[in-house]
């Protein structure tokens, strides 16, 4: 004891203190090192988490999250006439609009009240029929009455099965084909401009419609005869108008428009409803000018958009979900709801109780009903692809098209069954659809995925325009003509309806905010964004003006069939689901077309939290692979931004084989499509897309000198912005790069410069990836260990050392940071 105390006296005491202090210091240092290593490791983990999060976001956003829904849905308990009103739903609009909407609400209320009065006797039994999967005879006939709109002379050749695999280069079978007579096929809707050819016939037709208000619309009409076709339309218009407004006034209005001689007003083939072309600023114009895009400027007859809605026919006003109101199930039915949820990832139980042909509120901005469209719009084939779709939603989708589309414009509805497994989607569906001559079913012999399924549908389509829709939608009143009108004006326009929301829980029809456009964020994640006030004001836009979209949501759009094929359709190498909306959007814009949202065309869609069907391969990998194909073909140098946002792993082709891209790249060349830079500058100028993360001098904080590359070796120099040898980029690939050369770990913790290789993960450095203590470090991973780039204290060496948070010789600063990471 004495001995010990002797040592602790005088210099011994000092020594002991130094010893203890060193031990404590050492312990602190080790802790710090561990923190820094953990930091790097957590950074790596974070990268993975970010990637997974991105993938999740991709899934979520694609399923419609972020679609700005007007939270006010019409509820059953609060009918339109009291409580929640549609004008509130339009609350974001100007006062003037609100007044207009007020009118609309009244008219809807009137419609509803009238309906309730007129059809208060509608039996519950009829409603019941609509609820059943396969309707009873009574139900069918009731429905038949509602949708018996095949007035253009198509004849059904039942039970015909054609193998068109050679056609679609896919194993498909078409059944229930609507056979159209050769003459009828020759007949095109472009033969419709009666005012040019046979004005007197047309006048007769319209006048007849005025004089004979109870003309029999169910009468079969010979479609080969042109006058009859126009008469048909007149009848149609008449019939529609009788449903909505005093018929004579309206027909007269059309007649009066024609002035003294003409029956209908003649206008040039230009946009009829917007005097201004807010989006036609030259900088925004894609591809060829409108003249060369359009099918020719002629004088053509027009009419007010048809507000055809057969769902206003007799029905039970009190049926579940009628008028798009929120429906609720009793709490004791919750179990049922949960049990059936996974069949579609929405309230399937409730959907099955809602009439297949329910009415929904006319949510168009008021002016839409007054818009004029050309008489000779092209016909369309509506293509629904589905895989294991819920019976009631599939049928509701089809009925909504049949009930709310002008028959002469609806060439056919093609249902493409992407190898569903549900039994009711086989024979029962064939049987059900056999009532509707216009419905054709194409069966794929193996699962192809949404993209190739659409291609199979397009391959057999006979309409001039293809209209793709998801299989769980409800088309709203007047949805079709505004879309076709845009294609008619310019065959390279690709119009999309406003996608409204059918609530996945209560199946209510919800409105979305005005002025929404489809955009993407990195890494090619689709989303919605509202046009800025400034943009709206500058372009003097109203709520009905078409909105140009950098990208489309993907599920719902019309496209000129020939143009679709000129564009090379979809890349058939895209699998199952995902990324196809990006592909077609970039292709359209960069190769001379335009994508627009048409506010006067509205279609409700059930946005689901998850895809209810199986992916043959891993879902995330499938989507990532599709996106990588799109990036490689369309993004040019900007593909780095895609990979740089959490998709570096896709660069390792050994892990993911994205398939052959030769044809796609060839196609882009052949079509002489513009660059992605052009797209960003002209179509999506508000997109932030810096090509590098950071650039300029690479300053070392400890040394207070800058990195320099001279004669192929790295050294340090007094910082000088004018010296190119000191200029480096920190790229999305995480490269420290000067031209083609990349800084990379060399032998034994030394450094080397190599030709950059995107696929080589050894060339990647983490920097500024987080706000952690390691943010300024340049961290690389060598043999699974994180190492940091460190300057020698004399400024003559550069090496890799274990990372230390506070070591200033490991801290680096680029002159300019272009992106926040």
Q: Whole-angstrom Cα distance, residue 235 to residue 214? A: 10
State the number of binding residues for ligand UDP (CB under 6 A): 18
Answer for which of 98, 136, 179, 611 binds ligand UDP (CB under 6 A) is 611
Q: Is residue 632 part of the contact set for Mn ion (CB under 5 A)? A: no
Assigned token pair, 263? 């029956």
Could you tell me the smallest distance in angstroms from the CB atom of residue 345 to ligand UDP? Answer: 9
Partner that binds at residue 765, options ligand UDP, Mn ion, none, CB closer than 5 to 8 Å by kind? none
User: Closer to ligand UDP at the Cβ: 365 or 578?
Assistant: 578
Q: Which is nearer to ligand UDP, 64 or 745 (CB)?
A: 64
Q: Could you tell me the CA-to-CA distances from 744 to 45, 213, 647, 732, 763 in Å, in that order?
A: 22, 83, 21, 16, 5
323: left (phi over 0), alpha (psi -120 to 50) or beta: left
Q: Which is nearer to ligand UDP, 443 or 587 (CB)?
A: 443
Dist CA 743 CA 52 (whole Å):
28
End-to-end C-alpha distance for the chain, whole angstroms? 61
Q: Give the Cα separation of 644 and 42 in Å (integer).
A: 18
Sign of the alpha-carbon torsion through 164, 168, 173, 178: negative
| Stretch binding ligand UDP (CB under 6 A), from 311-319, 431-439, 605-613, 809-817 | 605-613
Stretch that binds ligand UDP, among 105-113, 189-197, 379-387, 696-704 (CB under 6 A): 379-387
Q: Largest alpha-carbon pair distance within the chain?
A: 130
Least CB distance to ligand UDP at residue 63 (A): 5
- Residue 613 touches ligand UDP, criterion: CB under 6 A: yes
User: Quick one: 459 or 714, whose CB is closer to ligand UDP?
Assistant: 459
Residue 291 near residue 297, CB atoms below 8 Å:
yes
Residue 62 CB, nearest distance to ligand UDP (Å)? Answer: 5
577 touching ligand UDP, by CB under 6 A: yes
Q: Which residues in the 680-739 window bind ligand UDP by CB under 6 A?
A: none
Burial-class residue 237 by CB neighbours within 10 Å (0-12, 13-18, 19+): buried
Kindly state the smallest distance separating residue 605's Cβ from Mn ion, in Å. Answer: 6
Residue closest to Mn ion (Cβ):
470
Smallest distance from ligand UDP to CB 452, Å: 9
| CB of residue 67 to ligand UDP, shortest distance in Å | 11
- Kindly state whether residue 470 participates in binding Mn ion, applying the rule CB under 5 A: yes
User: Of Mn ion, ligand UDP, none, which one sits near residue 790, judging by CB under 5 to 8 A according to partner kind?
Assistant: none
The reply to whether 63 sits near ligand UDP by the rule CB under 6 A is yes
User: Which of 417, 594 has the CB closer to ligand UDP?
Assistant: 417
Q: Residue 346 or residue 349: which is nearer to Mn ion going by CB?
A: 346
CA count, 13 A, side-chain hemisphere, 283: 5
Judged by CB under 6 A, the residue of 74, 221, 439, 576 near ligand UDP is 576
- Give the Cα separation of 172 and 163 in Å (integer): 6
Site for ligand UDP in 536-555 (CB under 6 A): 555
Query: What's the CA gap between 528 and 508, in Å, rounded?
Result: 21
**Cα separation, 109 vs 115, whole angstroms:** 9
Shortest Cβ 507–Mn ion spacing (Å): 15
Q: Is 348 in the site for ligand UDP (CB under 6 A)?
A: no
Residue count, binding to Mn ion (CB under 5 A): 1
Cβ proximity to ligand UDP: between 60 and 775 the closer is: 60
Which distant-in-sequence residues (6+ apart) come within 8 Å of 699 by Cβ? 705, 706, 719, 812, 813, 814, 815
Taking the least distance from each CB to ligand UDP, the nearer of 586 and 676 is 586
Binder of ligand UDP out of 389, 481, 640, 695 (CB under 6 A): 389
- Which residue's entry shows tokens 């004849």? 155
Q: Which two tokens stand for residue 437?
A: 């001559």
Only one of the segments 37-45, 65-73, 178-186, 385-393 lies at the binding site for ligand UDP (rule: CB under 6 A); that segment is: 385-393
Q: CA 130 to CA 479: how far, in whole Å?
A: 24
Tell me which of ligand UDP, Mn ion, none is bound by residue 389, counting a contact when its beta carbon lies within the kind-specific cut-off of 5 to 8 angstroms.
ligand UDP
Interaction between residue 386 and ligand UDP (CB under 6 A): yes
Binding segment (CB under 5 A) for Mn ion, from list 182-190, 191-199, 340-348, 466-474: 466-474
Inter-residue contact 336 to 349 (CB < 8 Å): yes
- For the bound state, the minimum distance from the C-beta of residue 556 to Mn ion, rounded and expressed in Å, comes to 9
Task: Print burial letters for 562-591: b (CB count within 10 Å at least 16), e (below 16).
Answer: ebbeebbbbbbbbbbbbbbbbbbbbbbbbb
CB 735 within 8 Å of CB 764: yes
**Shortest distance, position 306 Cβ to ligand UDP, whole Å:** 26
- Closest among 372, 379, 459, 387 to 417, alpha carbons compared: 387
Choices 197-205, 350-358, 608-616, 762-770 (CB under 6 A): range interacting with ligand UDP: 608-616
Q: Find the shortest distance in angstroms from Cβ 554 to ligand UDP.
A: 6
CA distance 614 to 421: 11
User: Torsion-angle region of residue 296: left (phi > 0), alpha (psi -120 to 50) or beta?
Assistant: left
Q: Smallest gap, in angstroms, from Cβ of residue 380 to ligand UDP?
A: 17
- Reference 592, options 566, 556, 627, 573; nearest CA is 566
517 binds, among ligand UDP, Mn ion, none (CB under 5 to 8 A by kind): none
| Shortest spacing between CB 727 and Mn ion, in angstroms | 48
* Backbone torsions φ then ψ of 134, nearest 5 degrees: -105, 120
* Shortest Cβ 63–Mn ion spacing (Å): 8
Estimate to the nearest angstrom the gap between the alpha carbon of 268 and the chain centroid.
Answer: 32
CA angle (701 as vertex; 697, 707 as ends), nearest 5:
35
Residues 440-499 that bind ligand UDP (CB under 6 A): 449-450, 453, 470-471
The interface partner of residue 453, options being Mn ion, ligand UDP, none and the CB cut-off 5 to 8 Å by kind, is ligand UDP
Cβ(505)–Cβ(347) below 8 Å: yes
506 within 8 A of 354, measured Cβ to Cβ: no
399 to 140, 313, 395, 725: CA distances (angstroms): 12, 13, 6, 68
Count the Cβ atoms, other than its own, within 10 Å of residue 403.
24
Instruction: Report what 481 binds from ligand UDP, Mn ion, none; CB cut-off 5-8 Å by kind.
Output: none
Q: What is the Rg, in whole angstroms, of the alpha carbon atoms belonging to the chain?
A: 32
- Give min distance, CB of 337 to Mn ion, in A: 20
Q: Cβ atoms within 10 A of the Cβ of 734, count?
A: 24
Which CB, 366 or 418, lies closer to ligand UDP? Answer: 418
Query: Which part of the chain contacts ligand UDP (CB under 6 A), choosing from 383-391, 502-510, 537-545, 713-721?
Result: 383-391
The distance of closest approach from Cβ of residue 787 to ligand UDP in the complex, given in angstroms and rounded to an integer, is: 43
Task: Report the residue from 387, 494, 667, 779 that binds ligand UDP according to the rule CB under 6 A.
Answer: 387
Q: Which does 410 bind (CB under 5 to 8 A by kind): Mn ion, ligand UDP, none?
A: none
- Closest CB 397 distance from Mn ion, rounded Å: 10
Closer of 613 and 716 to ligand UDP (Cβ):
613
User: 126 contacts which partner out of ligand UDP, Mn ion, none, CB within 5 to 8 A by kind?
Assistant: none
CB of 581 to ligand UDP, least distance (A): 8
Alpha-carbon span 171 to 577, nearest angstrom: 19
Pick between residue 516 and residue 810 the one whose CB is nearest to Mn ion: 516
Which residues contact Mn ion by CB under 5 A?
A: 470
Which residues contact ligand UDP by CB under 6 A?
A: 62-63, 385-387, 389, 418, 449-450, 453, 470-471, 555, 576-577, 608, 611, 613
């Amino acid at each position: 004891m004495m001995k010990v105390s002797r040592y602790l006296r005088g210099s011994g005491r000092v020594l002991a203190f130094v010893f203890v202090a060193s031990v404590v210091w050492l312990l602190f240092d080790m802790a710090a090192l561990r923190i820094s290593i953990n930091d790097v490791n957590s950074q790596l983990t974070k990268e993975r988490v970010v990637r997974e999060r991105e993938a999740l976001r991709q899934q979520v956003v694609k399923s419609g999250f972020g679609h700005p829904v007007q939270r006010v849905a019409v509820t059953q308990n609060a009918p339109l006439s009291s409580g929640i009103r549609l004008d509130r739903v339009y609350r974001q609009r100007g006062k003037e609009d609100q007044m207009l909407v007020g009118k609309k609400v009244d008219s809807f209320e009137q419609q509803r009240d009238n309906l309730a009065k007129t059809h208060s006797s509608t039996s519950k039994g009829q409603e019941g029929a609509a609820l059943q999967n396969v309707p009873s005879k009574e139900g069918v006939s009731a429905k038949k009455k509602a949708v018996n709109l095949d007035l253009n002379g198509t004849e059904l050749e039942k039970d015909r099965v054609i193998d068109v695999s050679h056609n679609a280069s896919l194993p498909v079978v078409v059944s229930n084909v609507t056979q159209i007579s050769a003459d009828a096929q020759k007949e095109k809707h472009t033969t419709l401009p009666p005012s040019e050819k046979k004005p007197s016939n047309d006048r007769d037709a319209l006048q007849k419609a005025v004089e004979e208000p109870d003309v029999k619309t169910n009468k079969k009409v010979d479609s080969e005869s042109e006058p009859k076709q126009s008469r048909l339309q007149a009848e149609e218009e008449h019939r529609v108008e009788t449903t909505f407004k005093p018929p004579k006034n309206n027909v007269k209005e059309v007649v009066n428009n024609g002035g003294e001689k003409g029956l209908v007003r003649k206008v040039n083939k230009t946009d009829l409803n917007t005097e201004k072309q807010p989006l036609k600023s030259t900088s925004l114009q894609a591809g060829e000018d409108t003249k060369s895009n359009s099918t020719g400027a002629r004088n053509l007859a027009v009419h007010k958009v048809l507000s055809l809605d057969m769902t206003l026919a007799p029905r039970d006003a009190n049926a579940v979900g009628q008028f798009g109101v929120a429906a609720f199930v009793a709490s004791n039915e919750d179990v049922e709801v949960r049990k059936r949820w996974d069949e579609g990832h929405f309230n399937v139980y409730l959907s099955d109780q809602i009439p297949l042909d329910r009415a929904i509120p006319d949510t168009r901005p008021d002016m839409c009903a007054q818009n004029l469209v050309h008489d000779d719009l092209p016909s369309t084939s509506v293509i629904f692809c589905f895989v294991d779709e819920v019976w009631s939603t599939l049928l509701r989708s089809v009925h909504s098209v049949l009930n709310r589309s002008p028959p002469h414009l609806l060439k056919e509805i093609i249902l493409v069954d992407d190898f569903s497994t549900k039994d009711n989607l086989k024979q029962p569906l064939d049987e059900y659809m056999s009532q509707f001559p216009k419905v054709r079913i194409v069966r794929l012999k193996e699962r192809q995925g949404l993209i190739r399924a659409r291609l199979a549908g397009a391959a057999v389509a006979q309409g001039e325009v293809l209209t793709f829709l998801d299989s769980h939608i409800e088309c709203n009143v007047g949805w079709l003509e505004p879309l076709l009108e845009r294609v008619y004006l310019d065959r390279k326009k690709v119009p999309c309806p406003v996608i409204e929301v059918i609530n996945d829980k209560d199946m209510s029809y919800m409105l979305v905010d005005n002025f929404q456009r489809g955009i993407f964020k990195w890494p090619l994640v689709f989303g919605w964004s509202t046009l800025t006030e400034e943009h709206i004001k500058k372009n003097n836009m109203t709520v009905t003006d078409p909105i140009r979209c950098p990208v489309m949501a993907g599920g719902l759009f019309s496209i000129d069939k020939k143009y679709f094929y000129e564009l090379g359709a979809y890349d058939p190498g895209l699998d199952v689901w995902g990324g196809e909306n990006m592909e077609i959007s970039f292709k359209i814009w960069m190769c001379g077309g335009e994508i627009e949202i048409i506010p006067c065309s509205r279609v409700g869609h059930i946005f689901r939290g998850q895809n209810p069907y199986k992916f043959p391969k891993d879902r995330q990998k499938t989507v990532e692979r599709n996106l990588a194909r799109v990036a490689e073909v369309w993004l040019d140098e900007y593909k780095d931004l895609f990979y740089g946002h959490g998709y570096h792993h896709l660069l390792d082709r050994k892990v993911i084989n994205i398939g052959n891209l030769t044809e796609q790249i060839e196609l882009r060349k052949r079509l002489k499509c513009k660059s992605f830079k052009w797209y960003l500058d002209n179509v999506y100028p508000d997109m932030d897309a810096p090509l590098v993360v950071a650039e300029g001098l690479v300053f070392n904080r400890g040394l207070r000198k800058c990195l320099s590359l001279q004669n192929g070796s790295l050294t340090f120099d007094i910082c000088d912005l004018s010296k190119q040898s000191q200029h480096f980029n920190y790229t999305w690939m995480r490269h420290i790069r000067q031209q083609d050369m990349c800084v990379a770990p060399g032998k034994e913790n030394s450094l080397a410069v190599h030709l950059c290789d995107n696929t080589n993960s050894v060339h990647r450095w983490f920097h500024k990836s987080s706000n952690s203590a390691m943010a300024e470090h340049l961290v690389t991973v060598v043999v699974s260990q994180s190492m940091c780039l460190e300057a020698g204290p004399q400024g003559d060496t550069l090496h890799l050392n274990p990372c230390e948070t506070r070591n200033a010789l490991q801290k680096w600063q680029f002159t300019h940071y272009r992106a926040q990471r």
